Amino acid sequence: MPPIVHVRGLSKRFTVHKKAPGLRGSVRALFVRDKLVKDAVRGVSFEVGEGEIVGLVGANGAGKTTIVKMLAGIIHPTSGQARVLGHDPWKRHNDFRRQIALIMGQKAQLWWDLPAADCFLVLKEIYRIPADRYRRTLDYLADVLNIGDELNVQIRRLSLGERMKMELIAALLHTPKVVYLDEPTIGLDLSAQRAIRGFILEYRERHAPAMLLTSHYMEDIERLCERILIMREGEIVYDGRLDQVVRKHAGYKVLTIHLQEQVQGVCETPELAAVGEVQECNEELIRLHVPRREAATAAAHLLASYPVADLTLEEPEIGDIIERIMAAQKGAPA
Amino acid sequence: MSPRLFLHVLSVETRKLMSYRVEFWLNTAVGFLAQFGAIYFLWKAMFAESEHSIIGGYSFDEMLLYYVSAILLTKLVRGRERESALSQEIYEGSYTRYIIYPTSFFRYKYAQHLGALAPASVQVMVFGAAAAVAIGPRTLETISMTSVAMTMVIVAIANLLHFVMKAPVEGVAFWADNVWSLDVMLRFIIGILGGAMLPLDLYPTWAQELLVWLPFQYITYFPVRVLVGEVGGIDFAIGVAIALFWTAVFAGVVRIVWKRGDLQYTGVGI
Ligand SMILES: Nc1ncnc2c1ncn2[C@@H]1O[C@H](COP(=O)(O)OP(=O)(O)O)[C@@H](O)[C@H]1O
Ligand SMILES: [Mg+2]
């Protein structure tokens, strides 16, 4: 079976015309336009299959949203190819549009001044969903997301979490085969994040769509994706299973200690380097990456050796893991 | 876009506007009274100053009737522009949803636009009746069932014409940071050349003859004259044909602007 999303050498260059402020700038802009060129996406290739949730991660500005926009047909690529369900997304064929969904945490799609119930009815007509199927799907979706009376409240009056749930329902009413989720949990509290993650998994279970998910939260990626794409400056620098990444690159924890008093030359003591990789060190604070399995021993060792005021042991940030992979990519292959 | 969807969007929009009760009745009533008052006193002074009882073929009462009709019919032609501002969707990036959803942006927006007309018609009837009492029934004698029916036809066409005339200007939003000033300019031109500011009868003959062939007067002046029973069958048919011709022309312009705009659109704000 061919993959549902198939991308080859896809690139997007944005050209921005700089405009100097003020009237003089405006007049000048009529004659000479200073161009600013930005290669947001550079020759990426990847595939997403049926029932697969692929995580797209990378720093701000890495090009994640730009990829999603191209695959949803919102913007035209500068070069390269993408086939989604056998269509060129930017031709915006109705057959294509009836089978996809786009959910953006940063941008509402629903009509702000209508209650969700009305928005859904409009969508029912847009997607021509038969009445009984519409009823069943809506009941089911509202039930899983625990939505009740909020259906009759104007979208603009809902909390961010409630609004996001409505956006999800709206996007899935027509049971799309391809779902793009761009930062779906951004800004949500933990319980809303959890609800949405559970919901996405449940939807996958039932309908096995191809999903592409971008998120800043490691938790989202960990819970939802088996495979991730790591982007840096428009390029994909890692395409592989998530457990490989975590095993290879996040086999450590972050250990931070604050010292009770300044200790002269603490950073030069050989014990530190024996315990882990020193990330940051001064006379009051030490931060180390210690191997996951030896974290407890390392902590005990440091407690015994130094006048420790406070000690914390944390999971590494996804950003750090990404940083490490990119560093490895530049030097030797990961 | 299916007729069902069209009607659905239309009715949702109508219900939405009906739910803003205070704004709906109070603000529009105040606006209407202010406009009517300004015109009343302005023309009262003009007639007193000129010492004629007829200006440009209009008596004072006829002049009032002209303006009341112009204000009310133009309301039907324009609809609630704020509600369906196309440029707003582009700036806010909500234009994206019409790319994602399998539907036509323009048909959707036009359905919304028409949805705003149902409540506007109610207002027009209420204010129209009030104004008729104020002006006096004798002036209304020329308005007949036939003229009202003809007015409904031309207003429907004018509504579409106005929509497609405005759309290319709104589409400039794909390129420019602000279309507000262009919007105001277009509004002003339509006001002056369309007869909302002055009855076109007050213009020089050559200008009147020229304006017959341009789209503007079919927004206000022509519908008003149809309403007061001054346009015969043949002239009506010619007027309708000219208005339809311009509607087609502007629809073509809209297509071109949007085709190019779509290439520019990057969905800002996502
Ligand atoms: N419409 C646009 N015009 C110009 N530059 C853009 C536009 N959209 C995004 N960019 C630039 O492209 C790069 C990638 O952006 P984006 O895809 O939004 O990143 P991400 O979603 O990974 O944070 C950024 O440097 C951004 O500034
Ligand atoms: Mg983004």
A94 lines ligand 1 (CB under 6 A): no
Contact present, A301 and A230 (Cβ < 8 Å): no
Q: Choose one of A66, A67, A75, A106 to mutate for the ligand 1 pocket test, by most ligand atoms within 8 angstroms of C-beta.
A: A66
Is A14's C-beta closer than 6 angstroms to any atom of ligand 1? yes
Classify burial at B29, counting beta carbons within 10 Å of its beta carbon; exposed 0-12, middle 13-18, buried 19 or more: middle
pLDDT on residue A319 = 62
Mutate to test the interface with A, among B2, B9, B12 (most CBs of A within 10 A): B12
What per-residue confidence (pLDDT) applies to B82? Answer: 64
Q: Which of B5-19, B174-188, B208-222 has the lowest mean pLDDT?
A: B5-19
Residue spans of the domains in chain B: they are: 3-264
Q: Rounded CA gap, B139 and B62, in Å?
A: 7
A interface residues, B as partner, C-beta within 8 Å = 14, 65, 69, 72-76, 92, 94, 97-98, 100-102, 104, 106-110, 113-114, 118, 121-123, 125-128, 182
What ipTM was assigned to the predicted interfaces of this complex? 0.79
Q: Which comes out higher in pLDDT, residue A326 or B219?
A: B219
Name which residue sits closest to atom 16 of ligand 1, judged by CA: A63
Tokens of A149: 């009376």
Collect all residues of chain B within an 8 Å Cβ-Cβ radius of residue A97: 100-102
pLDDT at B140: 78
Which amino acid is present at A257? I
pLDDT for the residue A327: 62
Computed over its alpha carbons, how large is the radius of gyration of chain A?
24
Q: Please check whether residue A30 is in contact with residue A18, taking contact to mean a CB–CB distance below 8 angstroms.
A: no
Chain B residues in contact with A114 (beta carbon < 8 A): 12, 16
Quick: pLDDT tens for A141-179. Answer: 888 888 888 888 888 899 888 888 899 899 999 999 999
pLDDT tens readout for residues B95-135? 999 999 998 899 888 888 888 888 888 888 888 888 888 77
| Strand bridging mode A53-58 / A227-232 | parallel
Q: Is the pLDDT at B235 greater than 70, yes or no?
A: yes
User: In this predicted structure, what is the pLDDT of residue B221?
Assistant: 95
**Closest CA–CA distance from residue A132 to any residue of chain B (Å):** 17
Neighbours of A325 (CB within 10 A): 22
Three-state DSSP class for residue B90 = helix
Binning pLDDT at 50, 70 and 90, where does residue A331 land? very low
Burial level of A17, CB count in 10 A (0-12/13-18/19+)?
exposed
